[in-house]
């Protein structure tokens, strides 16, 4: 069902594109009703307008607080064109067929740090009333709240001789109600904060149905947060199958693992934990050292890079090898940019997802939300690697010479489920996650797992006849990092027996003194970072 647009009410704070839209409406024979600054902008452009006061019969009043709210305007928007036509005529109500309205810039002045009185003056009342009235009566009235929708509106009008379809009006209706809901939510939370109350309202849109959730019997949807300047939702898939629920979770973990790193960095993610992580001057070598951190777990992994992905790097996957057993199976590759040659090579695997997303485009301070059965936990992002790096043992250690390796290891542990232990090393000029233990309820088990993984990886790279000597020599060059304090000396004893000579932990246990004494007895240096990094 199409309805012609004969009368339009234009009242906007953001005047981008409004003159051009009004000109097209005028050329279609549409009467233009307008208010305040919008009316002036249209008049200055030479367009004839009907001032809002001629429709309402009342002047603008109270510093502009009263302009559109009236029986005449709301009736012109709300009356049912079929059922109420006779009553509207008797009341001398002429229909308004289109509302173009965006609201006072409350969000903008809030971001600018406006004082409370300025915020209050930027709470729109008449605008939401008009928008909601027009949206409710979408069967007969169209409402546009965003300049980005002007092009679609113009196209519809051009294709339908100045009329709009009910399907298009219904789409605009849904956008309008979401627009006013988001607007009111921001005002509500701001006003709550002004009286010392915590309130949070989040909205999401553009829901995209996924193939399934974590498991095939679960339904899943991927949403974009309304108003987010940067969103993981905006990732671009260049090749491969649709992303799954688990893929998206792991992609998030992967980009968190490589973001804010100064050197080319590669992260290999499995079940939302980095099983491989390396950083150095050459991207291809960083991938090889990350892969060497756990070649078995790298099967079916998600791999992220923080620099432009090159052909020389992706050739490591051997996707075109005639011997299929030599090809490395991975699920997703993510990078901020990908060369055409690298993309063409990755396309040898028809299902491999190739994704563009810049890890460093995400703000460092995004809050962390956890939805839990009708409740919400909110916290600041974990952005502080360490408060200090204090050597607390008599066993010597050159902290300043290894600050970059310590920072690399702590960054890694921030991405790993607690209780977590990482063992990192500097090897051939690269920083490498050599072994990690994740998600264990007992820290001693995490330490043992990390050491076992180091042993396995070092066996893979060693080709001599005295592996134990090589193992101890390499472990002595490593740093073991714990996400939280050691409550007992058992972790130190296990680490020392495996050759570890430096441990970094937050400190803060009532048994710190006994742990430090154990380190001194065993010749292990211990550094307190002052910052815990639990990740549940």
Question: Are 115 and 253 members of one domain?
Answer: no
Active site residue 388: no
Mean per-residue pLDDT of the chain: 94
Determine the Cα–Cα distance for residues 256 and 304; give it in Å rounded to an integer: 9
Query: Beta strands of 265-374 (E only): which ranges?
Result: 265-270, 273-279, 301-305, 330-335, 353-356, 368-372
Same domain as 390, residue 350: no
Q: CA-to-CA distance for 416 and 414, rounded, in angstroms? A: 6
Q: What's the confidence (pLDDT) of residue 382?
A: 92
Which structural domain, as residue segments, surrounds residue 136?
A: 2-194
- Stated pTM of the model: 0.85
Q: Is residue 448 part of a domain?
A: yes
Instruction: Note whether residue 482 is domain-resident.
Output: yes
Q: Supply the pLDDT for residue 57.
A: 87
Asked if 307 and 395 sit in the same domain, the reply is no
Same domain flag for 388 and 424? yes
Distance CA 112, CA 107 (A): 9
> How many beta carbons lie within 10 A of that of residue 370, not counting itself?
10
**524 and 379 belong to one structural domain:** yes
pLDDT score of 410 more than 90: yes
Q: In the prediction, which pLDDT does 34 show?
A: 92
Helix, strand, or coil here: 305?
A: strand
Residues 361-388 have pLDDT tens digits of 988 788 889 999 989 999 999 999 999 9
DSSP state of 61: B
* Model pLDDT for residues 348-358, shown as the tens digit of each residue: 999 999 999 99
The verdict on residue 13 lying in a domain is: yes
> Are residues 389 and 351 part of one domain?
no
Is residue 6 domain-shared with residue 33, that is, in the same domain?
yes
Phi first, then psi, for residue 246 (nearest 5°) are -70, -35
Do 261 and 162 fall into the same domain?
A: no
Q: Which of 194, 220, 254 lies at the terminal end of a domain, its last residue?
A: 194
The encoded tokens of residue 143 equal 């409402």
Can you name the residues that pair with 460 across neighbouring β-strands?
none
Is a pLDDT exceeding 90 seen at residue 59? no
pLDDT by residue (tens digit) across 263-307? 999 999 999 999 999 999 999 999 999 999 999 999 999 999 999
- In angstroms, the CA 427 to CA 64 distance is 69
Look at residue 172 and tell me if it is in a domain: yes
Question: Is 225 inside a domain boundary?
Answer: no
Same domain, 421 and 357: no
Are 157 and 292 in a shared domain? no
pLDDT over 80 at 464, yes or no: yes
CATH number at 104 reads: 3.40.50.1380
- Rounded to the nearest 10 degrees, how much is the dihedral formed by the CA atoms of 335, 338, 341, 343? 60
Smallest CA-to-CA distance from 297 within 268, 318, 324, 255 is with 268
In a domain, 240, yes or no: yes
Residue pair 318/326 in contact (Cβ under 8 Å)? The answer is yes
- Answer yes or no: is pLDDT of 1 > 80: no
346 conformational bin, left if phi > 0, alpha if psi -120 to 50, beta if neither = alpha
The strand pair at 375-379 and 368-372 is best described as: antiparallel
pLDDT of residue 228: 86
Q: Does residue 27 sit within a domain?
A: yes
From the list 271, 328, 417, 427, the catalytic residue is 271
Q: How far apart are the first and last CA of the chain?
A: 54
CATH number at 504 reads: 3.40.140.20
> How far is 432 from 278, CA to CA, in rounded Å?
4
Last residue of a domain, one of 303, 326, 361: 361
Averaged pLDDT, 5-16: 93
| Residues 109-167: tens digit of each pLDDT | 998 999 999 999 999 999 999 999 999 999 999 999 999 999 999 999 999 989 999 99
Evaluate the omega torsion of the peptide bond into residue 419 and state whether it is cis, within 30 degrees of 0. yes
Pairs from 19-22 (Cβ < 8 Å, separation ≥ 24):
19/45, 19/47, 20/150, 21/100, 21/150, 21/153, 21/154, 22/47
The last residue of one of the domains, among 173, 194, 215, is: 194
Give DSSP secondary structure letters for 90-136: HTTPPP--EEEEE---HHHHHHTT--HHHHHHT--SHHHHHHHHHHH
Can you read off the two tokens belonging to residue 38?
């919008």
Burial tier of 134 (Cβ tally within 10 Å: 0-12, 13-18, 19+): buried
- In tens, the pLDDT along 329-343 reads 999 999 999 999 999
* CA distances to 145, 313, 323, 396, 531 from 347, in Å: 42, 14, 17, 52, 43
> Is 271 an active-site residue?
yes
CA 533 – CA 536 distance, rounded (Å): 10
Query: Domain total for the chain?
Result: 3
pLDDT value, residue 112: 93
- Quote the percentage of the chain above a pLDDT of 90: 88
> 120 with 176, same domain?
yes
pLDDT at residue number 501: 97
Residue 42 sits in the same domain as residue 181: yes
CA dist 1 → 157, 173, 194 (Å): 14, 15, 47
At 469 the pLDDT is 96
User: Could you give phi then psi for residue 184, rounded to 5 degrees?
Assistant: -65, -35
Is residue 350 assigned to a domain? yes
Annotated catalytic residue within 136, 239, 328, 348: 136
């Amino acid at each position: 069902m199409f309805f012609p647009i004969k009368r339009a009410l234009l009242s906007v704070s953001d005047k981008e594109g409004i003159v051009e839209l009004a000109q097209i409406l005028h050329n279609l024979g549409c009467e233009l009703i307008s208010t305040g600054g919008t009316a002036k902008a249209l008049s200055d452009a030479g367009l004839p307008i009907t001032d809002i006061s001629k429709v309402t019969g009342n002047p603008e009043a109270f510093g502009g607080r009263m302009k559109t709210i009236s029986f005449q305007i709301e009736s012109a928007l709300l009356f049912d064109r079929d059922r109420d036509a006779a009553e509207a005529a008797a009341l001398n109500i002429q229909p308004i067929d289109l509302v173009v309205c965006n609201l006072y810039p409350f969000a903008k002045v809030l971001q600018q740090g406006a004082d409370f009185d300025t915020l209050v003056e930027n709470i729109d009342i008449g605008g939401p009333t008009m928008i909601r009235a027009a949206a409710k009566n979408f069967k007969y009235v169209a409402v546009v709240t965003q300049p980005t929708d002007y092009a679609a509106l113009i196209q519809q009008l051009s294709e339908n001789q100045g009329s709009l379809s009910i399907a298009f009006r219904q789409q605009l209706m849904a956008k309008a109600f979401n627009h006013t809901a988001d607007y009111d939510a921001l005002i509500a939370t701001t006003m709550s904060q002004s009286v010392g109350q915590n309130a949070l309202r989040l909205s999401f849109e553009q829901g995209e149905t996924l193939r399934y959730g974590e498991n095939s019997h679960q339904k899943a949807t991927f949403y974009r947060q309304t108003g987010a300047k940067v969103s993981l939702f905006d990732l671009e898939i260049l090749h491969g199958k649709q992303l799954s629920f688990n893929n998206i979770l792991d992609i998030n973990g992967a980009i968190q693992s490589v973001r804010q790193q100064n050197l080319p960095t590669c992260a290999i993610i499995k079940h939302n934990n980095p099983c491989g992580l390396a950083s150095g001057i050459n991207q291809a070598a960083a991938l090889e050292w990350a892969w060497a951190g756990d070649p078995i777990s790298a099967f079916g992994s998600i791999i992220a890079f923080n620099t432009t992905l090159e052909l020389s790097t992706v050739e490591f996957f051997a996707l075109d090898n005639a011997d299929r057993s030599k090809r490395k199976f991975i699920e997703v590759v993510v990078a901020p940019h990908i060369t055409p040659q690298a993309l063409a090579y990755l396309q040898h695997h028809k299902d491999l997802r190739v994704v563009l997303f810049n890890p460093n485009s995400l703000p460092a301070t995004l809050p962390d939300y956890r939805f839990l059965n009708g409740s919400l936990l909110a916290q600041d992002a974990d952005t502080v690697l360490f408060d200090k790096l204090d050597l607390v043992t008599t066993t010597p250690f050159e902290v300043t010479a290894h600050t970059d390796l310590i920072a690399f290891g702590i960054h890694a542990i921030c991405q790993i489920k607690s209780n977590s232990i990482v063992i990192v090393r500097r090897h051939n000029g690269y920083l490498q996650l050599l072994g990690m233990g994740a998600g264990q309820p007992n820290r001693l088990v995490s330490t043992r797992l990390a050491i076992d993984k180091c042993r396995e990886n070092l066996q893979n790279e060693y080709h001599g006849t005295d592996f134990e000597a090589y193992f101890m020599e390499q472990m002595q060059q490593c740093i073991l990092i714990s996400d939280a304090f050691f409550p007992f000396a058992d972790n130190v004893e296990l680490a020392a027996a495996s050759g570890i000579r430096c441990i970094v932990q937050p400190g803060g246990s009532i048994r710190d003194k006994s742990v430090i004494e154990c380190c001194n007895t065993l010749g292990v240096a211990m550094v307190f970072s002052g910052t815990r990094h639990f990740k549940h």
